Amino acid sequence: MFHFEVENGLNVSLVFFIDDLQSDSTTLEETFEVTYQNYHRPDQVVCIIPCDNKEHFKAMFERETVKINAQRYGNKVPFIATSFDVSGKLEVFYKSIEPDSFSLNELESQLKCVGLELLAKTNQVIECSPPGTSFLKPSQSNNKEFISAHKLGQSSSQNTFIAYALLPYLVNHSDIEQVYVDTSAINYIVLSIVNLVNRLEGSNKFNPSYKSFHSYSGVEVCRPQLTNNAFVIISASTSNSLMNKIVNSWKLDVDQVITILSFKKSDRVLCHLEHTNSRNQNYVGNLVRRVDEYFTTEYFSPKPVVLKKIQHGSGLGKWPFKPFHNSNNHKCNSIKSSGDSIKEQSLTLESLPMEVEKALNEWVDHIINWHIPFSLKYIVTDESYEFCNKFVQKIRRSHSEIKVVKFEEVIELDFDNCTGALCSLLPVIRSGNSLMSLNRDLRIAKHDGMRVFIAPFFLYHGINGREQFRKSLCPLPL
């Protein structure tokens, strides 16, 4: 059973779509009781049932116990039971009371799209591309969102509802011998249509074959020899360009092609979806290709990136730690409040003692001279730190043509498989997570060059914390 609300102005209908072949009264009573608790009082309750079950449900709705549960909203809320035939047209066969302002035609014009929109939202049909990327679709166009229509139906009642929504578009269904779909991932929808049509007609005469033409790649290859008996179902589209291409290339009538879901409105689109967010849908960024029959995202194995060793530079053991410790630049085990000792560590590289600043400058010079490659093209840093700005200025003396990038901007860039070296610079780190996150973003942004990560200080709690940091970076992949 599938249920949802349909709003027509101020008039609200609570719709039950029941596809069960035989539902007993006890199950139906419990369903009404539980479902009504999830909705505010509507103007009417409408049940939609395949016409082959009409007499069975009509007899059940006459039972007193079913009546009580079906009319829990009170005597002023009509309970209306309708059935549909193979044309998809609704017909009322039971009413508890005569509704004041209810139009079956207006309900029919809305309920299919409303139901499909709910399924798309519930089953997460719209997929968003990762930050800094766009999906490269089978049409070779790109978009920030992709409609995975194969996830639309995930239960028997949902599949039957999709088939019911498609019934009015199957003009002269008895003449259809071949159904073409853009992906075999929606074959279950074709089977649901076949089963529903035969069920409503009480026969097994409707048995078309079905075939996937693999979206854009198969338009010319899978062209049908006889077009009069063909029907095409397109799972989803952003611009409806595939539907137009099929009509023109295969010389079909417009009513022989239907698109189930689309971001663009059309008479031949079953349900129009809105974009899930306001981001620029035409933003390109790095492209993630949708491949195979399920339009899954293309997977690339990451290149192994391993730190062979943590470079210390020279003279680290000669650092003037005593004046540094006595300064206000480094704090450890600060007392936050009276009686509570909080293990807090903080460090700043501004206003350093003279001999500490001299030692730090010597260390920086050694790193630049011996560990910064000549192929350096990028520096990723946080320019809000004075230390980072001084470091960048020193590097520019020997590497004038370098680009400085902020950490948050990396994921949005396209390095276009650049092999130029990149240097990451932070004055202090607390764990390897920041480096691993940056390395992952660089891989997504297609940077293929050498990467040097520089941080003069690491804050840790105890020997175990230091060892955990080392193991997180060396020798495991970042």
Instruction: List Cβ neighbours of 462 (8 Å cut-off, separation of 6 or more).
Output: none
More confident residue, 237 or 431: 237
Half-sphere exposure in the Cβ direction for 169 (13 Å, CA): 25
The radius of gyration of the chain's CA atoms, rounded to the nearest angstrom, is: 33
Instruction: Name the architecture of domain 121-297.
Output: 3-Layer(aba) Sandwich (3.40)
Q: State both tokens at 337.
A: 């409040």
Q: What's the pLDDT score for residue 27?
A: 81
Within this chain, domains 121-297 and 316-473 share the same CATH topology:
yes
- For the cut 70, the answer to whether the pLDDT of residue 355 exceeds it is yes
Q: Which two tokens stand for residue 79?
A: 């309970």
State the DSSP H helix or E strand holding residue 379, giving kind and residue range, or none if neither.
strand 376-381
* Range picked from 187-191, 347-351, 453-457 for highest mean pLDDT: 187-191
Multiple choice CATH, 316-473, 3.30.559, 1.10.1060, 3.30.750, 3.40.50: 3.40.50
Backbone angles phi, psi at 365, to 5 degrees: -60, -40
- Tell me the one-letter amino acid at 200: L
| Residues 6 or more apart in contact with residue 281 via CB below 8 angstroms | 143, 144, 145, 275
Residue 263 pLDDT: 92
Q: What angle do CA 246, 248, 254 make, to 5 degrees?
A: 75
CA dist., res. 365 & res. 232, Å (int)? 68
Task: Please say if the pLDDT value at position 322 is more than 90.
Answer: no
Map out the domains of the chain as residue ranges: 2-102, 121-297, 316-473
The pLDDT value given to residue 44: 92
Length of the chain: 478
pLDDT of 233 above 80: yes
Give the DSSP letter string of 132-171.
Answer: TEEEE-TTS-EESEEE-GGGS--SHHHHHHHHHHHGGG-T
Task: Provide the pLDDT for residue 303.
Answer: 52
Question: Which residue in the block uniquely carries the two structure tokens 């409408």?
Answer: 46
Q: For residue range 180-228, what is the model confidence (pLDDT) as tens digits? A: 999 999 999 999 999 999 999 999 999 999 999 989 888 988 888 888 8
Q: Name the CATH architecture for the domain at 2-102.
A: 2-Layer Sandwich (3.30)
Q: Among 78-87, 320-329, 359-368, which is the least confidently predicted range? A: 320-329
Mean pLDDT of the chain: 83
CA 216 to chain centre: 23
Residues 124 and 120: their CA atoms lie apart, in Å, by 6
Whole-number Å distance between alpha carbons of 276 and 117: 12
- Asked if residues 450 and 478 have their Cβ atoms less than 8 Å apart, the reply is no
Say whether 244 sits in a helix, a strand or coil: helix
352 against 52, higher pLDDT: 52
- Examine the pLDDT at 12 and tell me if it is beyond 70: yes
Q: In this predicted structure, what is the pLDDT of residue 325?
A: 62
| Mean pLDDT value across residues 85-95 | 93
Confidence check: pLDDT of 290 > 80: no
